[in-house]
Amino acid sequence: MTYSSTLEPGSNADLYERRYQRERRARLEAERLLELKARELDRARNLAEAALNTLQDAIDSLDEGFLLLDKDEVILLVNQRYRELYPEIADIAVPGTPFVTLIEAVVAAGIIVDPPPDADFVQHRLDRMRQADGPWEQRLANGRILLINEHPTAQGGYVSLHTDVTSLRHGEMQARWLGAAMEAAIDGMVVADAEGKITYANRAMAEMLGLQSGAQLIGLSSRDFYAPDELARYDQEIRKDIKINGQWRGEARALRVTGEPFVTEVSLSRLDDGGIVATIRDVTERNQALEQRTRLQEQLFRAQKMDAIGKLAGGIAHDFNNILTSMLGYASFLVEDLNEGSELQGFAKQIVTSGNRATKLVQQILAFSRQNDEQAETVPIARAVDETADMLRSTLAKTIDLIIDQGTRDAFITGDATQLSQVLMNLCVNARDAIGDGGGTIRIETGTVEGRSVVDEHGAPQETRSPDPGAAPAVLVHVDNDGSSIAWIGALRTDRRYVRIAVSDNGSGMPPEVLSRIFDPFFTTKPIGSGTGLGLSAVHGIVTAHSGALRVESRPGYGTRFELYFPAVEPGQTAGAEGDRFVEGRGAQETVLVVDDEVDVGGMTSLALKRLGFRVDHRISGIEALAAVRAAPQRYAAIITDQIMPQMTGLELTKTLRNEGFDRPIIVCTGYAEAIDEELVATNGGDYLLFKPVRPRTLGETLRALLDARSSP
């Protein structure tokens, strides 16, 4: 660069002037540069302030408390979150505060409970930050739990981050509690994802399925443990319910890993992620117990009903019997006193006939209510069936075949032969009525069978406890798909052998709703006046009284089959306490003449006497009896005659025979207490008066006593 000067060139003045000019230029340049620098500095400061503000905004937006310390451990930056976490020291948590001052304030304020704020706390806290020994947790007095993470900075300072993990730790704790609770639960619990894959299963669920651990179920499909038809129900119904209502509750049949089905009570709830949480309870045993309880309640109800009806009917029957006795007594007086063959005598006889029918009705009621004194003895079933069949044949139409199929003749029960005959008669009369006029077959079969096989093969109710002899067993009805229905009364013991008597017909059969009621007293399907509705009620009572059971199977249009089961005994043996009674008054093959105009009553009496070891001839009128005695006076060791009979009463017969020299015992039976008495019987030559109904035992004992007295010297 050149410049002009007025000074002498090369002189000191000139040199200094030149130097001054250079310095001046330099100073001007410096001023220019400094101004530029100042502007740059302003820009830089603005940028720095903006950056600092941005940084402060950034750290203020953190969820963590943030503290930046310089190398002297003095606060450079601190965010709002930090002050929120430690509100007690917020006023000093500002840039410029030494960290140690902050810690001392924390201790003084009692903010921290763990680690314990002991005498060394401040030093330990500083050491911990300087060592930056990894994240650690701090528990505050207000219950918060903070996770603290501290690192040194490149400038020798420290960054301290404080994260509130209270919710996380509580959540973890709750998750642990929840997990423990779910594992300890009695019910099975399963969580499945939206695809149905099991993501959690508890121990109870695993054990329910036959596994050891819920982990074994992870990844499997919950569909693997339900029967195919249940899966179809799930797809068609349950899934829709869950979609609409968010939950479903019900029962479903599940499968154990062995394939064994079992019933579960399931509660399903939809989760937000589309998964399902399920609570599952094995209710197999509960349902069985419920069914058992329901059945027992039904049985109890039935028994109570039958018992109540029985008591009511029995009471009425007894009273009714007395009334009948009176009515028939006076009616018999009319028959005796009115002119023979007159219209009025005919009316009186009709009263007697109707009264007799009413008496039989009363007997049925008493049989149902089990208020008759059954005569316990060892009864050979084959003979009882034969004798009943003999009586039946005379009453059945020729269009009905009666087939007797005796599987054995060595079957015996303990009981009352008369009542057994009554049962068979009632069943056969019903069979006859079911067959009707079109003709058909009645089949009576006998045999013995083990209780176990009946229970196993026919599903008979099993006697699990000692039956209450006073309670009537329930009627259990099962309906098959083909329309046939089966009813059971009573229960069988699996350790006992039974005599089975089956009466079957190919008549009209019964629908289930009829079958379920046939043992109810006074229930009948027969036309009014044709049936009493007491026949099968009596069967019910008698079978029950004999500790037996009864099975009925019927199908409309195909017929009905009754099977009676009585405990089998050896000859001379009784079945149990209920039948353990010694029977006296047995016969010695003496022949007895029974005189009764009512065939079935006379037949019953004859049957009873035969059971007791007597030979019996039966005549249905006094005239026939008189003829029989006259034909063979020595044949009869005794005569048992009914009082009320057409043409000749029992007393008239007695008197006539005595007049003709018959000196053997004569017993007069009457159902009408007021008609005759012992004195009148004795006056007419009779030895004894018995009132109907005459119990076989009483009859046997009386007859035996009279015969023995007659034969003794």
Partner 1 sequence: MKGMVLRGLVEHMESAFGLDVADKVLLEADLPSGGAYTTVGVYDHAEVLEIVTHLSRHTGVDGAVLVDSFGEFLFAMLVDAHPEFLEDQDDLFTFLEGIEDIIHVNVRRLYPEAELPRFACARKGDDQLLMHYRSHRPFAGLVPGLIRGASRHFGEVVDIGHEPLPPADGTRARFTLTRRSG
Which CB atom, from 25 or from 478, has the smaller least distance to partner 1? 25
Q: Which of residues 483-522 bind partner 1 (CB under 8 A)?
A: none
CB 335 within 8 A of CB 347: no
Assess 22 for contact with partner 1 (CB under 8 A): yes
Q: Per rule CB under 8 A, is residue 72 in the interface with partner 1? A: no
DSSP string, 445-482: EEEEEEHHHHHHHH-PPB--S---TTSPPPEEEEE-TT
Q: Is 393 in the site for partner 1 (CB under 8 A)?
A: no
What is the C-alpha to C-alpha distance for residues 549 and 560, in angstroms, rounded to an integer?
17
Least spacing, CB of residue 21 vs partner 1, in Å: 8
Residue pair 152/158 in contact (Cβ under 8 Å)? The answer is: yes
| CB burial string 461-478: b at 16+ within 10 A, e below | bebeeebeeeebbbbbee
Task: Give the one residue of 5, 7, 34, 194 binding partner 1; rule: CB under 8 A.
Answer: 34
Nearer to partner 1, 37 or 243 (CB): 37
Q: Does 271 bind partner 1 (CB under 8 A)?
A: no
Residue 26 engages partner 1 in binding (rule: CB under 8 A):
yes
Token duo for residue 228: 């195919």
- CB nearer partner 1, residue 30 or residue 184: 30
* Residue 23 engages partner 1 in binding (rule: CB under 8 A): yes
Least spacing, CB of residue 114 vs partner 1, in Å = 42
Asked if 43 is part of the footprint of partner 1 (rule: CB under 8 A), the reply reads no
Please name the amino acid found at residue 696: P
Closest listed residue to residue 205, CA positions, set 314, 265, 281 = 281
Segments of 271-360 assigned E as strands: 276-282
Using CB under 8 A, pick the residue from 5, 6, 7, 27 that binds partner 1. Answer: 27
Residue 144 beta carbon to partner 1: minimum distance, rounded to whole angstroms: 41
Strands 136-140, 412-415: pairing is: unpaired
Q: Rule CB under 8 A: is residue 84 a binding residue for partner 1?
A: no
Counting contacts by CB under 8 A, is residue 37 touching partner 1?
yes
Q: Closest distance between partner 1 and the C-beta of residue 159, in Å?
A: 21
The candidate with the shortest Cα–Cα distance to 122, out of 140, 146, 111, 106, is 106
**Contacts (Cβ under 8 Å, ≥6 apart) of 253:** 226, 227, 229, 230, 261, 262, 263, 264
Span of 32-40, 71-79, 130-138, 455-463 interacting with partner 1 by CB under 8 A: 32-40
The size of the interface with partner 1 (CB under 8 A), counted in residues, is: 19
- Of 24-32, 391-399, 601-609, 667-675, which part binds partner 1 (CB under 8 A)? 24-32
Comparing C-alpha atoms, which of 612, 592, 589, 586 is closest to residue 665?
592
Which residue's CB is nearer to partner 1, number 24 or number 130? 24
Q: What is the DSSP letter of 87?
A: G
Residues 1-20 that bind partner 1 (CB under 8 A): 1-2, 10, 12, 15-16, 18-19
Does residue 357 bind partner 1 (CB under 8 A)?
A: no
Compute the C-alpha angle 116/119/122, nearest 5°: 80
Instruction: Supply 263's token pair.
Output: 């019933």
Residue 40 CA to residue 152 CA, distance in Å, equals 32
Using the minimum distance from each CB to partner 1, give the nearer residue, 34 or 141: 34
In order of 310, 376, 515, 578, 693, the CA distances from 373 in angstroms are: 15, 9, 29, 12, 11
Question: Which C-beta is closer to partner 1: that of 20 or that of 301?
Answer: 20
State the CB neighbour count (10 A cutoff) for residue 537.
Answer: 27
Classify residue 274 by its DSSP letter. S
Q: Which stretch binds partner 1 (CB under 8 A): 22-30, 79-87, 123-131, 231-239?
A: 22-30
Q: Cβ closer to partner 1: 33 or 397?
A: 33
30 or 627: CB nearest partner 1 = 30
Q: How far is the CB of 22 from partner 1 (least distance, A)?
A: 4
Which range, of 30-38, 249-257, 367-375, 455-463, touches partner 1 by CB under 8 A? 30-38
Minimum CB–partner distance for residue 35 and partner 1 (Å): 10
Regarding 311 and contact with partner 1 (CB under 8 A), the answer is: no
580 in Cβ contact with 376 (< 8 Å): yes
Question: Is residue 170 part of the contact set for partner 1 (CB under 8 A)?
Answer: no
C-beta closer to partner 1: residue 30 or 316:
30
CB of 19 to partner 1, least distance (A): 6
Q: In whole angstroms, how close is the CB of 26 to partner 1 at the nearest point? A: 4
Q: Report yes or no: 372 and 694 within 8 Å, Cβ to Cβ.
A: no
Comparing CB distances to partner 1, the nearer of 22 and 240 is: 22
Which of 6, 7, 8, 33 touches partner 1 by CB under 8 A?
33
The two three-digit tokens of residue 698, written as one number: 């009483």
Binding site for partner 1 (CB under 8 A): 1-2, 10, 12, 15-16, 18-19, 22-27, 29-30, 33-34, 37
